[in-house]
Structures are given as C-alpha cells and as structure tokens.
Structure 1
C-alpha cells in the first residue's frame, strides 16, 4: 500500500516554503507602502523651507518708511494723516508714495491715545482753551486728527481751563501790556483764544492776585 501524496514529507516541506515566501513578500510590500508617506512628508518639509518669507520680498525703502512712521507715532504722538504727509514731503522724509502707503497700511497704532497726548501737551505748555485745542487737533494746518479722535482727546483730557485762561491773561499783560478789557476780549474771541466767558472772567478777576 502506497501512502497518499499529501502524507509524504516532501509535500509538506514545499507547502511550508510557499507559505513562507508569500508572507515575506507581503511584509516587504507593506514596508514599502509605509516608507512612501515618510518620503512625501520629507519632500513637503523641504518645500516649506524653500518658500521665501513675506518680509524678504519687501523693498528696503518700504521697511525704512515703516520704521520712520513708527518713530513719529511713538515719539511725537502724531496723527496718521500727518505722518503720511511727513513721509512723502519734500521738506520731510522724501519717501516714495508706494513706500509711504506700505508704511501706513502696516502701522498699527492707537490714534486716539496720540490725540489725547497732543491735547495735554497744548494745555500744559501753551495754556490753550478747550475749543482752541480741539480746533488745533483737527486743523489741516495743525495736527490733522479726525473729529472722532479729537473729541476723544477733549472728553478724556485732564486740564484746568480757568487756570489756562489766567496764565494766558498774564502773558498778554506782561509781554504786550494789554488792559484787562482788551485781554478779556482776546481770551473770548473766536479768532483769539476761544475761552468761555466764565473762564475769561475768572482770569481777569485773578489777574493781579
């Protein structure tokens, strides 16, 4: 009696070899598949590194204009419009219109705070009236702030306008030898100091005290 072929030892040996080869081939394919995403990811990283930064494409003149604009805003409390005109002025910084536009488009600042600082400076150093300061803040020949920025400054500034009127009256008396009546008229004039009648009267009442 012969043994069935599937009971012979060499049949099982061949089967084991075939199964082993199939298993090793499949795992090799898996490893190749796993390696593909890593290679793709590395390629993506190299592409990112090669992309130039946005700032690298900005001309040097534009960067200089932005730095100068920031300096005017921080050190001199200037308005946005005033800075823009100063950057391009022939008597100012002489930047190109394009460089000035880049500077103003990228300059972030609290313009209301600047208007307030400027208003307090006018009050403390020049003893100006509330209306006089407001008009100076919005004037095209003055600070060039917006009406909203100027009003914010007036609403939030701390000033004694009676005292300002008195200091201004003393200046007129000492430097121009004006009479009390002439001083009062100058203090309240729309073309003069623009103090209220009450503030002007306080100044006259305390002029020689």
Structure 2
C-alpha cells in the first residue's frame, strides 16, 4: 500500500519551496502594467488626406475639394465617441476583487507553473488567497496561459530534483492531491521530457 502524499518527505520540501515563492510574489511588481496605451493616428491621416486634396485643387476645380473636407471631419467624430463608451463599461463592470484574482492567477501561472485547477484551489483556499468562488472563476475564465508548457516545467522539476520515473511524474501531475493538470497536459509533459 502506497504512503499518502503528505507523508512523503519530498512533499514537505515542495511545500516549503512553494511558501517561499508565494512570499516573494508580494514583493515583485508586474512590469506589464506600466505599458503605455495611447495611440493617436487620426491627425496624421487627415493631414495626409488634405495634402492629397490640395494637389487635386491645383489640377482640378476648386469647388470639389471644398466639399470633401467638410464631409470627412463629420464622419470621424461620429465613430470615435461610439468606440470609447463601449470599452469603458466593460472595465467598470468588473469588480476590483475579480481583477485582483486574475492578477494573482497570472502570478501563480508564471512564477510557479501551476495548473488551472491548482490555481483555482489556491485562490479559493482559506489558507491561500481566500477569494470568493466567483472571483476565482472569473480569473480562471480570463487567464490566457500555455498550460501544457507549465506541466512540462513541473515534470522537469520532478525529474531533475527528485529523480522520479515517468509514471510517477505523470501520476503527480494529474493527482488531485498533486498538481491537478489535465491528462492531456500531463501526457504532453511526459512526451516532451528530455
């Protein structure tokens, strides 16, 4: 009969490492948040159109180019206000706690190579982040990450630090008491171990 996972020495070593990494996550700042979002291209485009129209004035009649510039500025302001209100309510409708859960989920996925299910459990655990289930589910639904790659990273860690067999690594990757990756993700990891 196999020992339960929590009675194995390497499990506790892994827990100590995980707690240390979690402690360091609070000290690091995400550089992605400082990226500028401003892009204004409409002004250079209109000047380029005006240059083309002035060249038309030299070759053709003066009356036709006067009518075209009047129509174009009317169209541009109509389009811009429609786009801005659509984007703002989407961000405003998301509660702060949901956004925080998503940021934490991204940190766990990147720094600790955790699975989706593992991150969800960490976010909702009273010994972890203690987010409400709705916030954690929002994070899981909106996180974009390569879960197969995370499974491969975890598999390499088990292979190198604990010298585990492929079968043992696979079992640990899919275990409900282990990493909680899907069978497909775990198989990808085993197939790509070097």
Range into which the TM-score falls when normalised by the shorter chain: 0.5 to 0.7
Relative distance call for 1:45 and 1:94 in structure 2 (3 A) is: same
Q: Which residue of 2 aligns with 1:123?
A: 159
Kindly state the Cα deviation for residue 51 of structure 1 after the two structures are TM-superposed. 4.7
Q: Is 1:106 matched up with 2:142?
A: yes
- The one of the two structures with greater contact order (alpha-carbon pairs below 8 A, sep at least 6) is 2
Any unmatched runs of 5+ in structure 2?
1-65
> 1:22-47 CA distances to partner (integer Å, 9 max, x unpaired)?
xxxxxxxxx9xx96885576455445
**Is the radius of gyration larger for structure 1 or structure 2?**
1
Q: Is 1:147 matched up with 2:183?
A: yes
Relative distance call for 1:41 and 1:140 in structure 2 (3 A) is: same
Relative distance call for 1:51 and 1:152 in structure 2 (3 A) is: closer
Measure, in 2, the Cα distance between the counterparts of 1:156 and 1:43.
Answer: 53
Q: Which residue of 2 aligns with 1:63?
A: 99
> 1:145-193 CA distances to partner (integer Å, 9 max, x unpaired)?
11111111111101xxxxxxxxxxxxxxxxxxxxxxxxxxxxxxxxxxx
Q: Which residue of 2 aligns with 1:205?
A: none
The number of aligned residues is 129
> 1:26-80 CA distances to partner (integer Å, 9 max, x unpaired)?
xxxxx9xx96885576455445445552223211111110010001101111111
Measure, in 1, the Cα distance between the counterparts of 2:97 and 2:119.
Answer: 16
Q: Which residue of 2 aligns with 1:192?
A: none
TM-score by length of 2: 0.58
Measure, in 1, the Cα distance between the counterparts of 2:192 and 2:109.
Answer: 19
Relative distance call for 1:35 and 1:141 in structure 2 (3 A) is: same
TM-score by length of 1: 0.55
Out of 95, 98, 101, the position equivalent to 2:131 is 95
Any unmatched runs of 5+ in structure 1?
1-30, 159-209
Cα RMSD after superposing both structures: 2.5
Relative distance call for 1:43 and 1:133 in structure 2 (3 A) is: closer
Q: Which residue of 2 aligns with 1:84?
A: 120
